[in-house]
Structure 1
């Protein structure tokens, strides 16, 4: 066999080895862990929020008690004065403001925007603050513990910037919720699961 033939044969063998290596299956990587999370029907939280519709902004403190289908929101100014109280249940919603307005509507969704300036779905908000989005929401990213880091739900983008601990079931501590020009930033200072 000539030197030329041996070089050609060696080149062909090398090409076959490279070709077979390209066809080899890629190493299997473990799927990211998924933290088991479920929504509770009764909770109480206290925190700070800011809300903006792109033109106007509001900020202050929020106290929210949610028990099954009832909601009690107290919105306070940054200095601690009550700005508004919103109560909602199966019979409807009532809003009382510091300037003496008394409003009522069929649901909290109809009244909360009057205070926040952002038309946010209260029923979804209850799931979002627990990092337990509904089955039709899309979890786009998870953190290293398997908890939601980015969720898309009905056009809303929910980013979980911080959790209250390292465990998989720790509640969120900082959220950024946005859709278009509407944005709500929420820092949860205390969280209590109610019986």
Structure 2
């Protein structure tokens, strides 16, 4: 091989090398974060939920009314009858069922017997249902549109399974054997 030919090949390889590296799979940058809709401080949400702890399953329709000072979560039987109503107000959590009313300082203690596991913190859940990764997530993966796809937060893994407009439609929230699936049907900015 002649020296000028070898030099031209080396020069061509040097010129083409950067273009070849730019297309290596796995080197694509993360999609930029989408501009999320502002978090609502008051809303009314209806939907369905399914909870599974590996041994017990629970499914219900729900209505969640939320303001900065009060939150109310109602769980319904298939007939539309209210099974339970959780109210959070002024640092007090109350759960009303057919068996009576119980009060606790922590809403999770009241919901645990219904779900089979302690639910995620309300502050994080309020953000997740609105498509926000929540306060201080450990890690975030984003979809092609830059929206959160999977969020790790204090042992919980939240997967945003589907979206409708700028809000999540379906979320799967897991920690260990505990699994909570939320299907969000209707939103209103009025509680």
TM-score range for the pair, normalised by the shorter chain length: 0.7 to 0.9
Partner of 2:106: 107
Partner of 2:90: 90
SS at match of 2:181: strand
Normalising by the residue count of structure 2, what TM-score does the alignment of the two structures yield? 0.84
Gaps of 5+ in 1: none
Question: Displaced runs of 4+ in structure 1, greater than 6 A?
Answer: 27-31
Partner of 1:147: 147
Counterparts of 1:154 and 1:91, CA distance in 2: 22
Within 5 Å, give how 1:51-90 maps onto structure 2.
51-90=51-90
Between stretches 42-51 and 77-86, larger displacement belongs to: 77-86
CA apart distance, 1:32: 2.6
Counterparts of 2:144 and 2:75, CA distance in 1: 31
Partner of 2:174: 178
Between stretches 101-110 and 43-52, larger displacement belongs to: 101-110
Between stretches 123-132 and 28-37, larger displacement belongs to: 28-37
SS at match of 2:79: coil
Counterparts of 2:140 and 2:96, CA distance in 1: 36
Deviations 1:165-188 (A, max 9, x none): 2xxxx2211111111111111111
Q: Is the 8 A contact 2:31 2:142 kept in 1?
A: no
SS at match of 1:83: strand
Q: CA RMSD for the aligned pairs? A: 2.4
Give the number of equivalent residue pairs: 184
Counterparts of 1:186 and 1:143, CA distance in 2: 22
Partner of 1:19: 14
Larger Rg: 1
Deviations 1:32-58 (A, max 9, x none): 343222311111100011001111110
SS at match of 1:14: helix
SS at match of 1:34: coil
Q: Is the 8 A contact 1:139 1:150 kept in 2?
A: yes
Deviations 1:16-74 (A, max 9, x none): 43134325684897863432223111111000110011111100111111111421011
Q: Is the 8 A contact 1:177 1:183 kept in 2?
A: yes
Gaps of 5+ in 2: none
Deviations 1:80-106 (A, max 9, x none): 2211111112231011112x1321110
Q: Is the 8 A contact 1:48 1:187 kept in 2?
A: yes
